[in-house]
Structure 1
Amino acid sequence: MFGNLIWMIFGGLISAISWFFIGCLWCLTIVGIPVGLQCFKIAKLSLMPFGKDVVREESGFGGLLWNILWLIFGGLELAVMHLFVGVILAITIIGIPFAKQHFKLALLSLVPFGARIVPSNTLYMDIR
C-alpha cells in the first residue's frame, strides 16, 4: 500500500526498529518477556499501520496488572508522544491519514496487553 511506503520513508521504519530494539532489551530478562512481546507487536504495527486495526480482547486480571505496570514504566509517555504527533499532523490536510495512524499507535501504546492487531477488512466478532 502506498500509505505504508510513505509512512516508512518518513519515520515508520525508524520507529519500528526502535520498538524492536527496546523489545529485545526487555526480553533479556525473564520478567520482561511479556513487555518485550508487546513491544514487538507495536513494532509490527509501527512498520505498516495502514490497513490494520487494533481490537480489544479480554485479558483478565493479569492483563490489567501488566497494563498498569506498562503505564507506570513509560506507556503513558509513549501514548502522549503519539497523540502529540497525531495532533500536529492533523492540522495539515495531507497529514490527516498519518495522524489517524498515530492515534491508533497511541491507543496501543497506552494499553497493549489485551489488544490484537487485525487486518482492516476483517470482520471481528467477540465470542464469549
Structure 2
Amino acid sequence: MRLLLNILWVVLGGGFVIWLEYLLGGLLLCLTVIGIPFGVQCFKIAGVGLLPFGKDIQDAPGASAIGCTLNVFWIVIAGIWIFLSHIALALSLAVTIIGIPFAIQHVKLAMLALAPFGKIVREMKE
C-alpha cells in the first residue's frame, strides 16, 4: 500500500516538485559555509518530500542549544513561509476524499519544515 501511495504522491500530490524545490534550495544553501547546516536540513526534508508514506518524524535524543538557535534562524528566515505553503496545500487537498492522505503528508512536512533541527526521519515498521 505504501508503494502505491508513494507513486500517487509523486504524480498527483506534488512529491516530485517538492523534492526538486528542497533539493535545489539545499544545493544553493550549501554554497556558503554558513548555509551548510541549513542545506543539510533541506536535503532531509527533500527525502521525506519525495516518498513520505511509511516514514515517521521523531525528536532526536539530546537536543542541543545550538539546534534550538538554528531552528530560530530557520523559522524567521524561511520556516514560517514553508510551513504556511504546506498547510495551504494540505487544506486544498483535504477538500476531496482522495486527497486526505496527501493532506496528512503535507501537514507532516509542514511540521518538519517549521523546525527541522533536532528531528530525525525513520522508516515505520509494518
Supply the distance in 1 between the matched residues of 2:47 and 2:39 (Cα, whole angstroms).
Answer: 12
TM-score in terms of structure 2 length:
0.93
Supply the distance in 1 between the matched residues of 2:98 and 2:36 (Cα, whole angstroms).
Answer: 38
Q: Which amino acid aligns with 2:24?
A: F
Residue 113 of structure 1, aligned match among 108, 113, 117: 117
Alignment gaps of 5+ in structure 2: none
Supply the distance in 2 between the matched residues of 1:101 and 1:48 (Cα, whole angstroms).
Answer: 10
Residue 47 of structure 2, aligned match among 31, 44, 48: 44
Supply the distance in 2 between the matched residues of 1:65 and 1:95 (Cα, whole angstroms).
Answer: 35
Note the alpha carbon deviations across 1:30-49, whole angstroms, 9 max, x for none. Answer: 11100000000000000000
Question: Superposition pairs for residues 10-49 of structure 1, below 5 Å?
Answer: 10=12, 11-49=14-52
In the other structure, the counterpart of 1:4 is 6
Provide runs of 4+ in structure 1 moved above 3 Å: none
Note the alpha carbon deviations across 1:33-91, whole angstroms, 9 max, x for none. Answer: 00000000000000000000110123210000000000011101101110111122112
The alpha-carbon deviation at position 9 of structure 1 amounts to 1.1
Note the alpha carbon deviations across 1:90-127, whole angstroms, 9 max, x for none. Answer: 121111100110000000000000010001218xxxxx
Supply the distance in 2 between the matched residues of 1:42 and 1:107 (Cα, whole angstroms).
Answer: 10
In the other structure, the counterpart of 1:100 is 104
Supply the distance in 2 between the matched residues of 1:103 and 1:14 (Cα, whole angstroms).
Answer: 17
Aligned length: 122
- Tell me how large the CA RMSD over aligned residues is: 1.1
TM-score in terms of structure 1 length:
0.91
Alignment gaps of 5+ in structure 1: 123-128
Supply the distance in 1 between the matched residues of 2:33 and 2:40 (Cα, whole angstroms).
Answer: 12
Identity percentage over the alignment? 41
